[in-house]
Amino acid sequence: MKCEELLQYLSDYIDQALDEDLTAEAQEHLATCHNCRVVLDSTQQTIFLFREQGKRTIPAQSRSHLFDQLQDAFLKSKTSQ
């Protein structure tokens, strides 16, 4: 497997959705290609961080305050037009 092919299958590889032969080829390539391992690791880290971000929420009081500030800013911008 070449780098371009691995990149084509990267998402399916991460999701463990490749058939056995392609998985074996990808693993073989990753064992010898530093650049593709970096791309794989970076992609997996990005997915992890995105998922972790989704778990965070703004507390209700802070969210209400933020919306009030946005509404004030919006109203001020409309009156200055």
Query: DSSP letters along 58-80, please?
Result: --HHHHHHHHHHHHHHHHHHHHT
Q: Considering the entire predicted model, what is its pTM?
A: 0.63
Per-residue model confidence (pLDDT) at position 42 = 94
pLDDT in tens, 3-60: 999 999 999 999 999 999 999 999 999 999 999 999 999 999 998 888 877 766 778 8
Per-residue model confidence (pLDDT) at position 51 = 83
Per-residue model confidence (pLDDT) at position 13 = 95
Distance CA 44, CA 50 (A): 10
Q: How confident is the model at residue 81 (pLDDT cuts 50, 70, 90)?
A: low
Q: Which long-range contacts (CB under 8 A, 24 or more apart) does 27-34 make?
A: 28/1, 29/1, 29/2, 29/3, 29/5, 30/6, 33/3, 33/6
Instruction: Kindly state the tokens that stand for 26.
Output: 């990808």
Q: How confident is the model at residue 80 (pLDDT cuts 50, 70, 90)?
A: low
